[in-house]
Homo-oligomer: A and B are copies of this chain.
C-alpha cells in the first residue's frame, strides 16, 4: 500500500487513536503521524509506545498542515476541541472522528467547521475492554465495519477518500445517515453495554451473595458481561449522554420483552420459554457466518484436545 495523506493528526491517543496509528504504519498510509493528548502523562505513555512521529500537548499545533484530522477523544470533548482547532485547519483537509454516536457529533462539531474543510463523521465498530495508549494494535479494525455518516451535501470526493482510508486500515465501510447509525448502534452496542454494566452492578450490590462467590462461579455466564462492563467509563458516559433518545427507546422495548419472560417464569409457562430460547440461536449463526465472531465454543477460552 502507499501513502494516502502527507500528514495525519490524531487528537486523542487511546485505544482507537493508537490503533489507527499502528494500522497506518502497517499500511504506510501517512507521511507523518501527529498525536495529541491533553495530559503530559498520556503524552509520555504514547511516546514510550512509539506509534507517532510527533506528539503535542497543543491541539492546534498538532493539526497544522494535516490533510486528515481525527477526533479520537471522548465525544463530550468534541465541541471545545473543534472550536480550538478550527482556525488552524488546512484548506481542503478532511476532519473526521471515531465517536460512537453520530447525531450529537454533527450537532456539536458542525458549527465550527470552516469553509473549505470537509467534515465526514465516522465510527469504527471495533474495540476491546481495554483503554489507553498501550491498548492499541494494528489489527483492531481488520474485518470490522466502519460507518461513515456524511452530512447532507458533503463533498463526495472526500467521502470516497475517507472510505478508501478505512478500507486500507482493514475495515469494511458502510455509509448511512447519522440518525440511523444512532438507532442501529443503540441496539448492537449501547444498550448491551448498559445492561452489562447494570448486571455487574447488581451483583456487586447484593448483600446476600459475596463478591468472592460471584467471582468464583462467574464461568456460568456472568464473566462475559464483566468483560463489556470493564470498558472505559468516560467514553461510555458520553455515549449515553449523547444518544439518549435511541437508548431510552430500545431500553423501553427491552423492558417490555423482559416482562413477558418474567411472566412466563412466574406462571411456569415452559412452552413460551422454550420458544423464545429457540428463536435466538439463529442470530448467533448469522454473526459467525458474517465473520464477526469466532465459532469456537466459549470463544475458544477452553483448550480442546484437537488444538
Contacts and interface: CB of A to CB of B under 8 A. Distances in A.
A192 B216 contact: no
Most chain B beta-carbon contacts within 10 A, residue among A145, A187, A231, A261: A187
A294 B303 CA distance: 12
A204 to B, nearest CB: 6
Given A192-B224, A286-B211, A301 B297 contact: no
A256 B199 CA distance: 11
A187 B261 CA distance: 17
A143 to B, nearest CB: 9
A152 interface: no
Interface stretch (A4-12, A91-99, A154-162, A273-281): A273-281
Interface in A190-208: 190-206, 208
Contacts of A128: 297-298, 302
A239 to B, nearest CB: 9
A214 B285 CA distance: 12
A203 B221 contact: no
Most chain B CB atoms below 10 A, which of A127, A234, A274, A299: A299
Contact of A237 (B129, B190, B277, B287): B277
B217 A203 contact: no
B283 A215 contact: yes
* Copies of this chain per assembly: 2
Contacts of A142: 302-303
B274 A222 contact: no
B221 A248 contact: no
Interface stretch (A42-50, A60-68, A113-121, A133-141): A133-141
A187 B203 contact: yes
B202 A250 contact: yes
Given A230-B281, A281-B230, A185 B217 contact: yes
Interface of A: 76, 100, 125-130, 135, 137-140, 142, 144-145, 147, 174, 183-185, 187-206, 208-209, 211, 213-231, 233-234, 236-238, 240-241, 244, 247-248, 250-251, 253-255, 257-258, 261-262, 264-266, 268, 270, 273-274, 276-281, 283-287, 290, 292-294, 297-305
17 contacts: A139-B304, A142-B302, A142-B303, A145-B216, A185-B217, A188-B221, A193-B221, A197-B280, A202-B257, A205-B257, A216-B290, A224-B227, A229-B277, A234-B274, A237-B270, A240-B273, A294-B301
